Chains A and B, each alone.
Chain A
Amino acid sequence: MSTAITTAITGSVLRARPDGSFRLREAVQVGERRLLGEVIRIALDSITVQIYEDTSGLRPGVTVAGTGRLLSIRVGPACLGRIFDGLLRPIGDPRDPYVTPGLQDEAEAQRFHFSPDVQVGAQLTPGAAIGSIGNGGGRASALQLRCLVPPDLPPGQVAEIAEAGRYRHDEPVCRLRAADGTLHAIAMSHEWAVRQPRPVAERLARDEPMLTGQRLIDCLFPIARGGTGAIPGGFGTGKTILLETIAKWCNADVIVYVGCGERGNELAGMLAEFTALEDPRSDRPLMERTVIIANTSNMPVSAREASIYTGITVAEYFRDQGLNVTLMADSTSRWAEALREVSGRLGELPGEAGYPAYLSSRLAAFYERAARVRTLGGAPGSVTVLGAVSPPSGDFSEPVTTHTKRYVSCLWGLDARRAQARFYPAIHPLQSYSVVAGELARWWHREGCTRWEELRRRFLTLLEEEAKLERMARIIGRDAMPARQRLVLLCARLVNECFLRQSAFSENDRYASPARQAVMMRLIGTFIESAERLLETGVPPESIAAEPIFRALMRMGEEIPEGDWERFSALEQDLAATVRRLTNGLNQEQRCTPD
């Protein structure tokens, strides 16, 4: 491999005099500690290297060793259930609590059980399965992983295949003879360049929802499998909690969580919680379906830039297994800032707000890697990408937010005022959208929620109207408004407080299944219609609000757990009874005129 001698260092950028040829984006190792870096510029007599670790102590004369490969990571079964740094190096080793620079050899390579599915002589194409991977030991894993022919190998014939047994994840279990006669070794894990999207057979339509268990998202602003969503919000509006909640309850097979320039304590909390919590669908610890990639804000900035690509490459690897993967990036703004910082060090011309001019195309390239696809192996799989955006001073007109909005199909805008009133999730319905709601309505229809589309519209118009009326109420006072408008405010309050608000810490309400969401949606719909009918007969909104049924409806999310359908039907009957009583019960003085 080529080497180079360091001539100058500032911060994380190093210049070196090459001896041999280097490629752009080639991974290099610097000095005895083997600090990881990437070649970002080449001239005839010098190369510029960006180093992904703390550069303290480096000096001119230090050797830069090329690896001959683009910046790559090793993807495989060993990724699941663990925590890594931005370049997919495990950081779970408890012996040293501090991040120390340099490449450490992994204490012990993980072993997995391999059982072959093909025989010698079989013709295989890239992406085809050659065997199944289990973690052996009698313990069944929730996920069925397979060993695939890496997508960058040519098609070929199986020349050798290992017997069933336990092998190191990086040890060859199969040899494939290509048409030109060369033998290629295949292990359970393989290297892949992080900046290169993994190939697929075709992209499929996004017509299936990625359910999050959050009513505000699933019912009002749903996201499709293979879709993209952005969560912009100032500090303290609950981006991280929302992402974590989705990570816990969404119906993905694998979660890749990229903590990009965020807090260490949050990741520690997540690690502890995910190990303790069980996946409701498989009864296994949530951590077993999770990959955490951690580059906290105090870890080297340059690795932050790479961590996003590392995350999506891992996600694509699991997608190629025919799984549905959700990637969460918290936060893409920190990633963009890392881009800006490195760009500044290189002396590039700054664009908008100091960000490099290629910010927009980088964001686009990242979000474009989300897709629902037919994999090379033929199975359907998907990568859904959710990115948190942290706009400076909560101002959504800054470059990262505006560019992100151009590429995502769902936007969940977090609102500081809702967060301040402890209204979580603090997604503002009037600052959010989902462009796939129409396609996903068919799914809800199939699930038996025939009025989904209609009620969704209804709720959204109600909230829109509420915003308008609230402004008016501030001028003329609530009591001076006509009864019909007061009723709109009352119904909007119910939608907000009971349906949209959902505490991530409430035992009963942190997760809502589609069935529970549908039943609550229907109940609220019935309430709104009944209240409107009552108003026609002259029952004022205040009398409706004073009924015990109103408080019961308000608290139904908190009080009624998943699966307790009887209590929901009891509530429905109570509602009907209350309506009957009010229709006949009021005397003439108590009645009002609607307008």
Chain B
Amino acid sequence: MYARLIGEAIAQRAAGPLLFLRRSVDVGLNEAVEVEGADGAVRLGRIAALDEDTVTIELLDDTAGLALAGTRVRFLGEALHFPVGPGLLGRVFNGVGKPLDGGPPLAARQSYRVDGLPIKPSARAAPCEFLETGFTAIDLMNSLVRGQKLPLFSGGGLPHDRIAVDIACNARLPGRAGADAAGARDFAVCFAGIGIPHDSAEFFRNEMEKSGALARTVLFLNLASDSSAQRLLTPRYALTAAEYLAFTEGKHVLVILTDLTNYCEALREVSASRGEVPSRKGYPGYMYSDLATLYERAGRIHGRPGSVTQMPILTMPNDDITHPIPDLTGYITEGQIVLDPELHRRNIYPPIRLLPSLSRLMKDGTGKGLTHADHPALAAQLYASYSQAQQTRLLASVVGDDGLSATDRKFLAFGDDFEQNVVHQGTAARTLEESMATGWAALRGLPESELHRLSDQQIRAHCVPG
């Protein structure tokens, strides 16, 4: 790295977030800069394009008030880095890694590039260890595995903030003796609020302080009023912190990012101001690749103890799962958990709609030797039966309950029972064993001949009353 360079009186043109400089120093693509305007404000930026005469800088802060005269540019000589070190846990930062909690600056031990580097597929260890969230609809039906990325697709007015906090507070590494003592030391949460309203930010902070979860959490808060270019950095800072905790300190880190929709809106805004050709719904054509650079940072690495698990939360615009944001996310992440306004109105918490929900890595992290031998079959049977219950509901809505056969009526009852007793659980966290017990109980309402996904042995062991 070379000495930090300062360029003065080289600004030639400014347009939107872009600043064009005369090329007077030898700098490289993607390196970070600090632009100090005549107004004294320091703005962060990066070098977006270079030719022989001009350096194009993309500013990550609001450019209002920036003038060409009197603007000084400091070239940092390397891409944006986040200095991290022990003592991260329990701290609150803004979207670009500056402390918000009034505490001292972090005693940095290492500095990592916020963009991260892609992990070689051959260096990745396949995720196979279960992570308990406390929600039956996730643990039993769509198990989360350490190193996985499993997004929560929410909608307007749904309690995703509450769910995020509950998971941050209740998540644990199960199956260890003294899980609360030893397990808690190995477990950490990295929580990033991206473009969230002030109220939500306060809510997250207070709830975590109240439950004591803040001690094992790093909080990054980018408020709705912060600049949109900064919003693009928030998840990157959070993930850099998570990678440090996981791969240097050896912790199992759960990263909760909320709300990715704000991130994508910021991406669209910045892309439009750069004058790029838009793709679907005005979002840039590279949104898939850009989101992948975030989501793909989840994982485990061979020979290193920790893991980064991601739970990004996004609100589907107009509750439309085919909107580019959930659509592209779903193509990258390993499954999705979908929230449902109808279940929410019926006061079911968490209002998780199971049929479109999926955890792709569940097969690798559940079953014999991992969770419970009958776990996968139970989940498969519940899925099949619930799916049939939904179809029967559709039928009943046309022909009425009277037109149904006895078996169909049992399925109707099963559907209601399943939603009320298995999916719904209120605020109390359940262990996986408790979740499985509620699942077996629900299946007892169905005739044995309908349980095609269970072996005779499993039926005898769990589904025969008494």
Interface residues of A (CB under 8 A from B): 7-11, 15, 55-61, 83, 91-94, 96-100, 234-236, 259, 261, 263-269, 271-273, 292, 294, 296-299, 301, 334, 337, 340-341, 344, 350, 353-354, 390, 392-395, 416, 419-422, 473-480, 497, 505, 546, 551, 554-555, 558
Please tell me if the beta carbons of B296 and A294 are within 8 angstroms of each other in the complex: no
Residues of A within 8 A of B31 (CB): 56-57
Given contacts A9-B50, A59-B50, A390-B331, contact A263 B296 (CB under 8 A): yes
Cα A344 to Cα B27 with chains together (Å): 26
Q: Verify if B285 is at the interface (C-beta below 8 Å from A).
A: yes
Please tell me if the beta carbons of B51 and A264 are within 8 angstroms of each other in the complex: no
Please tell me if the beta carbons of A271 and B122 are within 8 angstroms of each other in the complex: yes
Which size class do B's interface residues fall under? 35 or more
Given contacts A8-B52, A55-B29, contact A392 B276 (CB under 8 A): no
**Contact mask for chain B residues 435-466; partner A; CB cutoff 8 A; 1 contact, 0 none:** 00000000000000100100100000000000
Given contacts A265-B126, A271-B122, A555-B452, contact A297 B296 (CB under 8 A): yes
Given contacts A9-B29, A298-B293, contact A98 B119 (CB under 8 A): yes
Q: Name, among B28, B361, B383, the residue most crowded by chain A CB atoms within 10 Å (CB to CB).
A: B28
Please tell me if the beta carbons of B29 and A58 are within 8 angstroms of each other in the complex: yes
Please tell me if the beta carbons of B376 and A505 are within 8 angstroms of each other in the complex: yes
- Give the residue of B79, B118, B280, B323 whose beta carbon is less than 8 angstroms from that of A296: B118
Q: Name, among A97, A272, A390, A394, the residue most crowded by chain B CB atoms within 10 Å (CB to CB).
A: A97
Cα A299 to Cα B280 with chains together (Å): 23
Please tell me if the beta carbons of A268 and B121 are within 8 angstroms of each other in the complex: yes
Q: Verify if B30 is at the interface (C-beta below 8 Å from A).
A: yes
**Contact mask for chain B residues 31-50; partner A; CB cutoff 8 A; 1 contact, 0 none:** 10000000000000000111
Residues of A within 8 A of B49 (CB): 8-11
Min CB distance, B68 to chain A, in Å? 22
Residues of B within 8 A of A422 (CB): 380, 383-384, 387
- Give the residue of B127, B324, B355, B361 whose beta carbon is less than 8 angstroms from that of A392: B324
Cα A533 to Cα B307 with chains together (Å): 60
Known: A91-B122, A236-B330, A269-B126. 4 other contacts (CB 8 A): A7-B51, A83-B122, A268-B124, A292-B121
Please tell me if the beta carbons of A298 and B292 are within 8 angstroms of each other in the complex: yes
| CB-defined A-B contacts under 8 Å, sample of 8 | A96-B120, A97-B119, A235-B336, A259-B121, A263-B332, A267-B121, A296-B118, A337-B285
Residues of B within 8 A of A57 (CB): 28-31, 79
Cα A153 to Cα B111 with chains together (Å): 53
Cα A298 to Cα B121 with chains together (Å): 11
Residues of B276-297 whose CB lies within 8 A of A: 276-277, 279-280, 285-286, 288-289, 292-293, 295-297
B interface secondary structure, majority? mixed
Please tell me if the beta carbons of B29 and A268 are within 8 angstroms of each other in the complex: no
Q: Verify if B363 is at the interface (C-beta below 8 Å from A).
A: yes
Q: Verify if B179 is at the interface (C-beta below 8 Å from A).
A: no
Residues of B within 8 A of A234 (CB): 330
Min CB distance, A190 to chain B, in Å? 25
Please tell me if the beta carbons of A59 and B26 are within 8 angstroms of each other in the complex: yes
Residues of A within 8 A of B132 (CB): none
- Give the residue of B121, B148, B299, B360 whose beta carbon is less than 8 angstroms from that of A294: B121
- Give the residue of A261, A265, A395 whose beta carbon is less than 8 angstroms from that of B322: A395
- Give the residue of B121, B148, B285, B399 whose beta carbon is less than 8 angstroms from that of A271: B121
Residues of B9-63 whose CB lies within 8 A of A: 23, 26-31, 48-52
B49: nearest residue on chain A (CB-CB)? A10
**Contact mask for chain B residues 357-368; partner A; CB cutoff 8 A; 1 contact, 0 none:** 010110110000
Please tell me if the beta carbons of B398 and A83 are within 8 angstroms of each other in the complex: no
Q: Verify if B147 is at the interface (C-beta below 8 Å from A).
A: yes
Cα A370 to Cα B161 with chains together (Å): 50
Q: Verify if B64 is at the interface (C-beta below 8 Å from A).
A: no
Q: Verify if B225 is at the interface (C-beta below 8 Å from A).
A: no
Residues of A within 8 A of B376 (CB): 505
**Contact mask for chain B residues 403-419; partner A; CB cutoff 8 A; 1 contact, 0 none:** 11100100000000000
B332: nearest residue on chain A (CB-CB)? A297
Please tell me if the beta carbons of A272 and B126 are within 8 angstroms of each other in the complex: yes
Given contacts A59-B50, A265-B361, A392-B324, contact A477 B122 (CB under 8 A): no
Please tell me if the beta carbons of A477 and B399 are within 8 angstroms of each other in the complex: yes
Given contacts A477-B395, A477-B399, contact A100 B117 (CB under 8 A): yes
Q: Name, among A267, A268, A340, A546, the residue most crowded by chain B CB atoms within 10 Å (CB to CB).
A: A268
Please tell me if the beta carbons of B26 and A61 are within 8 angstroms of each other in the complex: yes
Min CB distance, A344 to chain B, in Å? 5
Q: Verify if B356 is at the interface (C-beta below 8 Å from A).
A: yes
**Contact mask for chain B residues 247-285; partner A; CB cutoff 8 A; 1 contact, 0 none:** 000000000000000000000000000001101100001
Please tell me if the beta carbons of B121 and A420 are within 8 angstroms of each other in the complex: no
Cα A58 to Cα B50 with chains together (Å): 9
B287: nearest residue on chain A (CB-CB)? A337
Please tell me if the beta carbons of A298 and B322 are within 8 angstroms of each other in the complex: no
Given contacts A9-B49, A97-B302, contact A263 B334 (CB under 8 A): yes
Residues of A within 8 A of B280 (CB): 353, 392
Cα A15 to Cα B51 with chains together (Å): 9
Q: Verify if B246 is at the interface (C-beta below 8 Å from A).
A: no
Cα A94 to Cα B79 with chains together (Å): 26
Given contacts A57-B29, A265-B127, contact A344 B289 (CB under 8 A): no
Cα A353 to Cα B283 with chains together (Å): 12
Min CB distance, B82 to chain A, in Å? 16
Please tell me if the beta carbons of A236 and B395 are within 8 angstroms of each other in the complex: no
Q: Verify if B301 is at the interface (C-beta below 8 Å from A).
A: yes
Please tell me if the beta carbons of A344 and B276 are within 8 angstroms of each other in the complex: yes
Residues of A within 8 A of B289 (CB): 261, 297-298, 301, 337, 341
Residues of B within 8 A of A268 (CB): 121-122, 124-126, 299
Given contacts A57-B29, A236-B358, A392-B280, contact A480 B285 (CB under 8 A): no
Min CB distance, B338 to chain A, in Å? 10
